[in-house]
Amino acid sequence: MLQKQISIFVENKRGRLAEITKVLGDNDIDMRALSIADTTDFGILRIIADKPDLAEKVLRDEGFAVSITEVIALSVEDKPGGLASALCVFDEHDINIEYVYHFISKKTGRAAIIVRVDNPAEVFEKLKGTSLNLLTSTDLENIY
């Protein structure tokens, strides 16, 4: 199952990140993972949240530039080489990765990896029959 990722255009101004997280908190939206890539003038905040459609709506209503993209989530052992073994599967299947970010679950002792690729639905189907531990939304919810 593909995951919905919220991407928010963020100006590099004091307090903007606080505003975004406050809007999410005020609407009882829990962030599971986040990543921010920035340049001098702006950044792209990427979030995996428990209510991605609501997050998109409330952020858009507050004037933020928001989009939803599909990503693949998988779980790997939290040990040296854990990520490498998963990425080798992508390489073996000739899958190009646009970007990756992760978070660690102390509860499971594993790392959840978020991967953005071209044609995520097609790639997800390719990966179903591999050794990768692909995660569902429920899995991500229970990983804490």
Q: Residue 116: which CATH number?
A: 3.30.70.260
Find the helix or strand (DSSP H, E) in which 19 lies: helix 16-26
CATH number at residue 7: 3.30.2130.10
Domain boundary among 42, 69, 96: 69
Question: pLDDT-based confidence at 144, cuts 50/70/90?
Answer: low
Residue 63 has pLDDT above 70, yes or no: yes
* Span 27-54, pLDDT tens digits: 999 998 899 988 788 899 999 999 999 9
How many Cα atoms sit within 13 Å of 4 on the Cβ side? 14
**Of 70, 68, 43, 72, whose CA–CA distance to 56 is shortest?**
68
Boundaries of domain holding 108: 71-142
Amino acid 25: pLDDT: 97
Rounded to 10°, the helix 16-26/52-61 angle is 120
Residue 64 has pLDDT above 70, yes or no: yes
One domain for residues 85 and 133: yes
